[in-house]
Chain A
Amino acid sequence: MKRLTRRTILAAAPGALALASPLLSAFPARAAKNYGPGVSDTEIKIGNTCFYTGPASSYGTIGKAMAAYYKMVNDQGGVNGRKINFISYDDAYSPPKTVEQTRRLVEQDHILLDAGPLGTPTNSAIWHYMNQNKVPQLFVSTGASKWNDPKGHPWTIGWQPNYHSEGLIYAAYILKENPAAKIGVLYQNDDFGKDYLRGVTDGISGKQAKIVVAASYETTDPTVDSQIVKMKAAGCDAFVNTAIPKFAAQAIRKAVEIEWKPINVLSSIGNSVAGVLKPAGLENAKGLVSDFYLKDPTDPRWKDDAGYKWWIGFMDKYYPEGDKTDGFNVYGPSNAATVVEVLKQCGDDLSRENVMKQAANLHDFTLPMLLPGIKINTSPTDFAPVEQVQMGRFDGQAWQLFGPVLSSAAA
């Protein structure tokens, strides 16, 4: 409570009660109404930037699915009686445009927070701006590991498992299968590829296993055949394939062609059945291992699952034009639901400070489309909400999940 207004005086009685109670005293502001920008008794204004046009516009459906989710929340009465006003602008995957649109959201629309803005370079562009101006940059839709930096950037928090922690999980899996593995890593020569490589490297440090070949590719390369041949020649018996779909498929096919049979780990970037495994040949992909955290909407296993049924109902009612085989349409509402949970936890203290406090105060939160057993946890020192994944093995038809839910923290 910074200012003494009529509202705060009226709220003083419950506030005093709250202070008296040792249990509640951890959240003394919760009992009082405390509004940040964009909040009123009937509305919470939140912003977002997404790529609706431009080279990466296939991601635009994430923003549309988010908007559909907020509409559903509003139809069900909103959050603690307040409707969510979700303002999403197009930045066309251009960082300067993201800066402009985000400043528009913050300075003109006066949003409370930025919810799930999409993309790594685009979020990097506003990273400092948001932290300088102390505007919550919640659950950014990118897997770079740099968003988990509560000390340096306390106003930015990630969401999905980051590539670095996935790398750790792959290393743990390989170590379990063969403690003395000679590992080959295929990675894209940019920050996301290097995040994976760093994860695997960190995961085996101090262990007997070694990375024998770390081969990079450029997105402009025609093939990755030579990298695969090199790994076989170097005697690698484990392969971590973190390539984007086109190259992931090539690598799978090439390994079979040259009869190289390592422990074969495929990263989540390239584990789409339709986009990678079919082009690589379903037979060739048999035995591959990968990791998952969301339910794959094309997987027949979830046909009778309550979470999947909810999602199909949601899509039918609020986003009927959305593609029901597109994983992005699972991603959008799942991310938005986490934002809604934070707003619920905020109660009537909808200040930006409390938003960050609650975003760092999620405990065992689950979502309909998260894999069973995966829970969202954050703390003031842990700004990585989804940290768990489950491994799956491809049986020639579909991914079969196996083993326990893994956490990168434990890996």
Chain B
Amino acid sequence: MSAPHDDAAVLPQPQAAAQPSAITRPNGRQLSIAAVIALAVVLPWITESFVTFQLTQVMIYALAILGLNLLTGFNGQFSLGHSAFYGIGAYTTAILMHSFGVPYFWTLPAAGAVCFVVGFLFGFPALRLQGLYLALATFTLAIAMPQILKFHGLEWLTGGVQGIVVEQPDPPALVPVSADQWLYYFTLLVLLLMFAAAANLIASRTGRAIKAIRYNPVAAAAIGIDTALYRALTFGVSALYTGVAGALGALAAQFVAPDSFTIFLSISLLVGLVIGGVGSIPGCLIGGLFVLFVPNIAESFSRGLAGVIYGVILLLVIFVMPSGAAGFARLAMAQLSRFRRQSRKP
């Protein structure tokens, strides 16, 4: 994290209370980031391999949610089509590995590049659409994707309904970890790089342009921001992030099939986005945790009512944390510092 204040700059609704302390707080923030990373490094050694696998999935979902967040949280465009980008990323990895024998780590940049191009190209026509209309347009993408993958003209490539089996990456010979642990660390590395890149992007001049479009597109255009280009670019970058997540998802599940990438995945990502906090980068991790674990928790209460319980948990979370986990944390921090300041006064 090169820019110490980048997370503070990320806040979508800058809170007056948060700004003055932005110079003193980064140390604490950096410390907590370091602590989370340290915990993440240690976790695979103190949990079962299955939990390691689940945590890998959490990180993959977090990355996909970050992709959506870049688009929705920072640029203000809605998408119900991110399952399609996730699927394209997963299939790019699966096809490259299965049909062309490409090593798994090279498939990630390829998946990202393919998704960037598709996202960018889709972003252009989408420019004419705003808000709910864009959500509908991207919805078609999510609906179409499983059928395109099943299309018999492409079956030689996609494997049709049967899908493609993906080999699990083996750890390098000299590294004494299991395959699950290796994939975990590999995902962790990709996640950290991409989170840092996203934080830097948002803190940059480009990032300010992206956010300006969200706050007020007309004013952004008036000060000389090429809104069309930036919107399409954001769409591309967003697709790239979700596509890389899809590629990692294919490695983790060791299998891709059209039915893995339905509209339900898009909705899960959207839920994760809102739970984690719209416009928050660390919040995406909370979103990932929610997406993976809450359906399991709901199911453990009652099989027949799993959907209802999931809904109730979702409502409760939104009620308690209306601006997501990130907003909740900010609020708590603000309360805490106010309390400290007050208690310091005589």
Q: A residues near B, CB below 8 A?
A: 52-55, 64, 88-90, 92-96, 99-100, 103-104, 107-108, 120-121, 124-129, 189-191, 216, 218, 220
Known contacts: A107-B48, A107-B50, A125-B163. The answer to whether A52 contacts B303 by CB under 8 A is yes
Q: List 20 A-B contacts (CB under 8 A).
A: A53-B306, A64-B303, A88-B303, A90-B295, A94-B264, A95-B256, A95-B259, A96-B249, A99-B255, A121-B258, A124-B163, A124-B255, A124-B257, A125-B163, A125-B253, A128-B165, A128-B255, A190-B150, A218-B147, A220-B147
Residue B307 CB within 8 A of the other chain: yes
* Extra pairs beyond A88-B303, A90-B299 (13, CB < 8 Å): A52-B304, A90-B306, A94-B264, A95-B253, A96-B255, A100-B253, A100-B292, A107-B49, A107-B50, A121-B163, A125-B255, A189-B150, A191-B160
Assembled-state Cα–Cα distance A328/B265 (Å): 27
Assembled-state Cα–Cα distance A120/B53 (Å): 23
Q: Which residues of B contact A96 (CB under 8 A)?
A: 57, 249, 252-253, 255, 260
Known contacts: A53-B306, A220-B147. The answer to whether A99 contacts B299 by CB under 8 A is no
Residue B266 CB within 8 A of the other chain: no
Assembled-state Cα–Cα distance A54/B306 (Å): 11
Q: Which residues of B contact A108 (CB under 8 A)?
A: 48, 50-51
Q: Which residues of A contact B259 (CB under 8 A)?
A: 93-95, 121
Question: Across the interface, do B161 and A121 meet the contact criterion of CB distance under 8 Å?
Answer: yes
Q: Which residues of B contact A93 (CB under 8 A)?
A: 259
Q: B residues near A, CB below 8 A?
A: 48-51, 53-54, 57, 147, 150, 152, 160-163, 165, 249, 252-260, 262, 264-265, 292, 295-296, 299, 303-304, 306-307
Q: Which residues of A contact B260 (CB under 8 A)?
A: 94-96, 121, 125
Q: Which residue, A94, A129, A218, A220, has most C-beta atoms of chain B within 10 A?
A: A94
Question: Across the interface, do B162 and A100 meet the contact criterion of CB distance under 8 Å?
Answer: no
Q: Which residues of A contact B249 (CB under 8 A)?
A: 96
Q: Which residues of A contact B299 (CB under 8 A)?
A: 52, 89-90
Q: Which residues of B contact A191 (CB under 8 A)?
A: 160-162
Q: Which residues of B contact A92 (CB under 8 A)?
A: 264, 295
Question: Across the interface, do A125 and B48 meet the contact criterion of CB distance under 8 Å?
Answer: no
Q: Which residue of B lies closest to A57 (CB)?
A: B307
Distance to closest chain B CB from A243 (angstroms): 16
Question: Across the interface, do B306 and A100 meet the contact criterion of CB distance under 8 Å?
Answer: no
Q: Tally the A-B contacts, defined by beta carbons under 8 Å.
A: 92
Distance to closest chain A CB from B148 (angstroms): 11
Question: Across the interface, do B254 and A129 meet the contact criterion of CB distance under 8 Å?
Answer: yes
Interface of A is mostly: helix
Q: Which residue of B lies closest to A89 (CB)?
A: B299
Assembled-state Cα–Cα distance A190/B299 (Å): 32
Q: Which residue of B lies closest to A50 (CB)?
A: B303
Interface of B is mostly: helix
B262's partner among A55, A88, A129 (CB-CB below 8 A) is A55
Distance to closest chain B CB from A56 (angstroms): 9
Assembled-state Cα–Cα distance A313/B49 (Å): 44
Q: Which residues of A contact B262 (CB under 8 A)?
A: 55, 94
Assembled-state Cα–Cα distance A89/B296 (Å): 9
Q: Which residue of A lies closest to B300 (CB)?
A: A89
Q: Which residues of B contact A107 (CB under 8 A)?
A: 48-50
Q: Which residue of A lies closest to B307 (CB)?
A: A53
Assembled-state Cα–Cα distance A55/B258 (Å): 14
Distance to closest chain B CB from A67 (angstroms): 9
Q: Which residues of A contact B57 (CB under 8 A)?
A: 96, 100
Question: Across the interface, do B50 and A104 meet the contact criterion of CB distance under 8 Å?
Answer: yes
Q: Which residues of A contact B255 (CB under 8 A)?
A: 95-96, 99, 124-126, 128
Q: Which residue of B lies closest to A120 (CB)?
A: B161
Distance to closest chain B CB from A62 (angstroms): 13
Q: Which residue of A lies closest to B250 (CB)?
A: A96
Q: Which residues of B contact A120 (CB under 8 A)?
A: 161
Q: Which 3 pairs show the lowest CB-CB distances between chains A and B?
A: A107-B50, A125-B255, A96-B253
Question: Across the interface, do B147 and A90 meet the contact criterion of CB distance under 8 Å?
Answer: no
Q: Which residues of B contact A64 (CB under 8 A)?
A: 303-304
Assembled-state Cα–Cα distance A220/B306 (Å): 30
Distance to closest chain A CB from B188 (angstroms): 18
Q: Which residues of B contact A121 (CB under 8 A)?
A: 161, 163, 257-260
Assembled-state Cα–Cα distance A287/B309 (Å): 49
A190's partner among B53, B54, B160, B256 (CB-CB below 8 A) is B160
Assembled-state Cα–Cα distance A323/B259 (Å): 28
Q: Which residue, B254, B260, B306, has most C-beta atoms of chain A within 10 A?
A: B260
Q: Which residues of B contact A190 (CB under 8 A)?
A: 150, 160-161
Distance to closest chain B CB from A108 (angstroms): 5
Assembled-state Cα–Cα distance A54/B259 (Å): 11
